[in-house]
Structure 1
Amino acid sequence: MSEFTGWLHQDAGELDEAMAWTNRAIQLANEAGAPELAAYVAVRRSNIDSDRRDTRAALDHASAAGMEGLSIPMTNPDVISTETSPDVASRGSKIAVLSIGSFEQHGDILPLSTDTIVATQIASMVARANNLWLLPPITVSCSQEHTDWPGTISIPAATLIRLVEGIVASARAQGAEHVVLINGHGGNYVLQNVVQEASDLSLFPGRSDWTAAREAAGLKTNAHDDMHAGELEISILLHCAPDLVGPDFKHQDHLADSRPHLLTHGLRAYTDTGIIGSPSLASAKKGAAILEAVATLFVDHVSGVRASM
């Protein structure tokens, strides 16, 4: 059924949905111990990749379909640096980039690691483009408002402060003169205070940066209405990690514009699914445009950092 649904979406030109359903079919075939069926569906996935003009993915899936002991290649987003010590030494950057994500529910359409994936994609992208030192990510942070859902792990704000301060102190000892915190979780309010109290720290993207990126990418929602697992986050993962997006994202919209007691009652008071926003409006094209806009905005940010050093 998942495979057939994928075909229907492909025939309708809905390639993001087709890809999500075809990935689900491959997963089910592998779990059932049916490599021949998985290979057959992988050929269909290769065809979808071709329609999306993703030649590399199309070749990978076509190749995997013909391999004995089939292992379908899945997207591997940049979550942690694979640089060697000599790589860091040869770069000699005095500016480091520290991504901070979370491990919290995003309904049944995105993984618990979504915020970490978003933060690390931005961090690795801007580090490469600006020749900066990419630090290992913080993958757990302040997610208390999501703890009504299984899987969410949250730490106190004081613990996050100590963790950031410890990593920054170690980076300073290695020669870093400034650390940019790349925050992927809106609930990490305390990071603003951390940056306020240190002359060699900055925070990116800010609220105005996300607003500008939304506008540049043509998103139809704003940050308030599209708060969690909505148009923005689904779009980014459709672009950089499409295999991690649940196939039913087009039918999960939930609006809760008034959330006066979010911090005291948590997200469960406003949504049963854990989603607040419009995932149905998401697309891989928008995701690519969001990240491109963020990368452009970071150039101004890092220029200001360099001018102050």
Structure 2
Amino acid sequence: MTHPDSAPTAADGGTPGTAGLPGGAFPLPTATTEDERRRGATVALLPVGSFEQHGPYLPLATDTVVACTIAQAIAHAYPVLLLPPVTISCSHEHAAWPGTVSISAATLYAVVRDVAESLRRSGVDRLVLVNGHGGNYVLGNVVQEASAEGRRMALFPQAADWEAAFAAAGLETSAWDDMHAGELETSILLHAHPHLVRPGYETGDHLAGDRRHLLTLGMAAYTGSGVIGRPSRASARKGQDVIDHLVAAFAEVLAVLGR
């Protein structure tokens, strides 16, 4: 891999734009085909989010925003091809709340496989799925199958990556207890997109540690608000520290993909 300084930068349009929306965020990559020709990336990032309830104070697109925030930060640090996000995925456990939309696991599986195949035809033979929604279990199966076929694919962040990021950022809630719309997600949005966070997170705490029947009963069996976590502990500083830790940790993913 070349050093990121040798790749096109934001100044010449080579990395995602940062203008166009309130808060200085643009939702899609803005690099041109010439930018990508110069970059010569062999690794692509596909952010995978969701469109599901995140309590009364975070947007339905929170998981997509989180995945894009992580992927954009990585793309600014490493010479990778940043793809636009998958914005609707497997959110069936949130179906009790208005606005939630899902696709089947089979559809998500097919989309990721098709994207990977298209990338290979264009010379990018390694793909990282930057997942922002814990309910996208099928992504792990896609990566396993690709590896068995001799194709390089990775899933990031995984549980161990999140655990390490929690510790590095000093989050006060465990990753298990901070499941949804809690300290982690609220902190990331307070850091990167504070205009998306509405009032109410300060008093939105709700814990439900025993969720053994979640897949059968859905989220509504464990929370009335849609929140499981402690958003009151969130801060922009914690959000920045989480992102910084994940960007640094991504170097190991690139090393593994390069073996």
TM-score, normalization by structure 1: 0.75
Cα offsets for 1:220-244 (capped at 9, x unmatched): 1111111000000000000000011
Given candidates 294, 304, 308, the residue that maps to 2:246 is 294
Q: Which residue of 2 aligns with 1:229?
A: 181
Q: Which residue of 2 aligns with 1:74?
A: 22
Given candidates 255, 264, 272, the residue that maps to 2:224 is 272
Query: Computing the radius of gyration over CA atoms, which structure comes out larger, 1 or 2?
Result: 1
For 1:188-227, list aligned pairs within 5 A: 188-198=136-146, 199-227=151-179
Corresponding letter in the other structure for 2:190: L
SS of corresponding position for 1:182 = strand
For 1:83-162, list aligned pairs within 5 A: 83-162=31-110
Confirm or deny that 1:167 pairs with 2:119: no
SS of corresponding position for 2:226 = coil
TM-score, normalization by structure 2: 0.89
Which has the larger helix fraction? Answer: 1
* Displacement of 1:170: 1.1
Cα offsets for 1:16-54 (capped at 9, x unmatched): xxxxxxxxxxxxxxxxxxxxxxxxxxxxxxxxxxxxxxx
Cα offsets for 1:151-183 (capped at 9, x unmatched): 001011000000111111111111101001100
8 Å contact 1:79–1:116 — kept in the other structure? no
Corresponding letter in the other structure for 2:89: S
* Displacement of 1:266: 0.4
Corresponding letter in the other structure for 2:51: F
8 Å contact 2:53–2:100 — kept in the other structure? yes
* Displacement of 1:128: 2.0
* Displacement of 1:76: 4.0
Given candidates 156, 177, 181, the residue that maps to 2:125 is 177
8 Å contact 1:78–1:124 — kept in the other structure? no
SS of corresponding position for 2:128 = strand
8 Å contact 2:42–2:124 — kept in the other structure? yes
Q: How many corresponding residue pairs?
A: 235
SS of corresponding position for 1:274 = coil
Corresponding letter in the other structure for 1:248: G
Q: Which residue of 2 aligns with 1:261?
A: 213
SS of corresponding position for 2:124 = coil
Identity %: 52
SS of corresponding position for 2:181 = coil
8 Å contact 1:237–1:245 — kept in the other structure? yes
Q: Aligned partners of 2:125 and 2:22: how far apart in 1?
A: 37
Q: Aligned partners of 2:217 and 2:254: how far apart in 1?
A: 38
SS of corresponding position for 1:197 = helix
8 Å contact 1:80–1:136 — kept in the other structure? yes
8 Å contact 2:128–2:156 — kept in the other structure? yes
* Displacement of 1:90: 1.3
Q: Which residue of 1 aligns with 2:5?
A: none
8 Å contact 1:79–1:121 — kept in the other structure? no
Q: Aligned partners of 1:236 and 1:167: how far apart in 2?
A: 27
Runs of 4 or more off by more than 6 Å in structure 1?
none
SS of corresponding position for 1:99 = strand
Q: Aligned partners of 1:172 and 1:230: how far apart in 2?
A: 38
Q: Aligned partners of 2:252 and 2:130: how far apart in 1?
A: 15
8 Å contact 2:153–2:257 — kept in the other structure? no
Aligned CA RMSD, in angstroms, stands at 1.0
Corresponding letter in the other structure for 1:277: G
